[in-house]
């Protein structure tokens, strides 16, 4: 059956809007994806029919909400190929998931003089938590460099891993350049030295089929809002053997077994890491995998060739393996000006440093413009982007 994005787009109400007389062209999917009607309806139905706290009530609404909440956990487990539901921790998003690992596993296992390996490609959310940990315990960060094309210099990794290395945390896909990192090789290399690996999967989960057991990562973090779901919900996957050794991240309801003023004993996995009332409504959504990777690859190729025809446009990041992200600069026109002018035609892109300031410093750029694609984007939208960029050039002479 032929993939029909124009038909699928009808399930996304926001994409039907017009702005300033123009049909919305939404090309900021790396920041957040739009939501299908099924997700919106599920949220509305929960608050209208099922709203109750989970795990604590014996009444019907609580039991029904609890059942749906745990069904969602099972769907996530199956979606990412985890071994069991106890390995699925619901958090607020990728950022909280990484902070959880840094402040629990990290504090327990990383001491003064130890080392943590990151890469130049990382989002701030996969830099700052480790910096805070390193500063607190006296550890050091080691950085895996990149090439001018935006690919990791993988041959440098064996030189970075040593007897002091305690953690390797790396993005699966770059949010700024779209680079798909060779995580199988990275993880194999790290595990040969007994080093656990956390993957920031915020950008890979919408584009790639994820099987955490096949990848063999120790932790995997992602956000619902980048996967066509609601904001305020995310997932930390962790190998059960590691999660069981980690102390709680936050204290409060549902993460406890028994509380006295003298001592508290903690709940079992996964509830040990889920203190307080969670985003119940945000978890009760289907996460069906759509076979769209081939279409997205074709769309990325089409957009890359189309943008290369725009005069004076330079694409930043030429990795051989990429997903639907194209960062670019245009002559000496500031990216913010590009984004502002495109917005006047209803074209939404992202401009700035994309929360990757070390990467921008490495590339010698203050900022880029970024178009990022999802399975509901079309070639016609790419054409409108090209038309808009040509108008920008004409306006700036």
What is the spatial order of strands in the sheet that 325-330 belongs to?
313-316, 325-330, 368-372, 350-352
Structural domains of the chain in order of their starting residue, each with its CATH number: 5-30+290-396 (3.90.1150.10), 41-283 (3.40.640.10)
State both tokens at 360: 């921008």
State both tokens at 130: 């480790």
**Lowest mean pLDDT, pick from 188-197, 209-218, 263-272, 290-299:** 263-272
**Runs of H (alpha helix) within 349-378:** 357-363
Average pLDDT, the chain: 91
Please tell me which residue in 306, 355, 357, 365 is annotated as part of the active site: 355
Contact indicator for 112, 87 with CB cutoff of 8 Å: no
Active-site residue 217, yes or no?
no
**Closest residue by Cα to residue 150 from 378, 328, 395, 13:** 328
pLDDT in tens, 339-397: 999 999 999 999 999 999 999 999 999 999 999 999 999 999 999 999 999 999 999 97
Over residues 188-203, mean pLDDT? 98
Q: Say if residue 145's pLDDT is above 60.
A: yes
The angle subtended at Cα 206 by Cα 213 and Cα 318, nearest 5°, is: 100
In the Cβ-directed half-sphere of 173, how many Cα atoms lie within 13 Å?
24
Contact indicator for 352, 30 with CB cutoff of 8 Å: no
pLDDT in tens, 95-124: 999 999 999 999 999 999 999 999 999 999
Question: Hey, is 220 helix, strand or coil?
Answer: strand
Distances (CA, A) of 70 to 54, 176, 241: 10, 34, 21
Q: Which residue has the tokens 């130049």?
A: 120
Distances (CA, A) of 349 to 74, 116, 174, 313: 35, 34, 17, 15
């Amino acid at each position: 059956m032929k993939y029909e994005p124009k038909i699928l787009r009808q399930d996304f109400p926001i994409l039907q809007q017009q702005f300033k007389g123009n049909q919305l062209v939404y090309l900021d999917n790396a920041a957040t994806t739009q939501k299908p009607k099924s997700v919106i309806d599920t949220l509305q139905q929960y608050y209208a029919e099922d709203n109750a706290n989970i795990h604590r009530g014996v009444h019907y609404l609580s039991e029904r909400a609890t059942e749906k909440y745990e069904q969602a956990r099972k769907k996530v487990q199956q979606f990412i190929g985890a071994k069991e539901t106890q390995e699925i921790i619901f958090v607020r998003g990728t950022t909280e998931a990484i902070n959880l690992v840094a402040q629990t596993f990290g504090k327990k296992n990383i001491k003064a003089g130890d080392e943590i390996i990151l890469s130049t490609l990382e989002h701030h959310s996969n830099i700052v938590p480790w910096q805070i940990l390193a500063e607190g315990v006296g550890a050091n960060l080691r950085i895996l460099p990149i090439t001018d094309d935006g690919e990791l210099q993988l041959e440098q990794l064996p030189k970075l891993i040593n007897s002091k290395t305690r953690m390797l945390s790396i993005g699966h896909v770059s949010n700024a350049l779209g680079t798909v990192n060779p995580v199988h090789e990275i993880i194999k290399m790290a595990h040969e030295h007994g080093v656990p690996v956390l993957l920031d999967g915020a950008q890979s989960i919408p584009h790639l089929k994820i099987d955490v057991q096949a990848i063999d990562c120790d932790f995997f973090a992602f956000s619902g809002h980048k996967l066509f779901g609601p904001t305020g919900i995310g997932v930390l996957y962790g190998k059960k053997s590691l999660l069981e050794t980690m102390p709680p991240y936050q204290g409060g309801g549902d993460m406890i077994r028994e509380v006295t003023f003298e001592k508290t004993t903690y709940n079992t996995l996964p509830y040990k890491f889920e203190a307080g009332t969670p985003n119940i409504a945000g978890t009760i959504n289907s996460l069906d995998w759509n076979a769209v990777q081939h279409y997205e690859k074709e769309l990325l190729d089409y957009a890359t060739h189309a943008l290369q025809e725009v005069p004076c446009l330079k694409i930043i990041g030429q990795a051989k393996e990429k997903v639907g992200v194209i960062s670019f600069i245009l002559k000496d026109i500031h990216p913010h000006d590009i984004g502002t002018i495109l917005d006047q035609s209803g074209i939404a892109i992202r401009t700035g440093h994309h929360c990757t300031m070390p990467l921008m410093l490495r590339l010698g750029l203050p900022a880029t413009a970024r178009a990022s694609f999802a399975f509901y984007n079309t070639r016609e939208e790419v054409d409108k982007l090209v038309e808009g960029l040509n108008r920008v050039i004409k306006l700036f002479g």
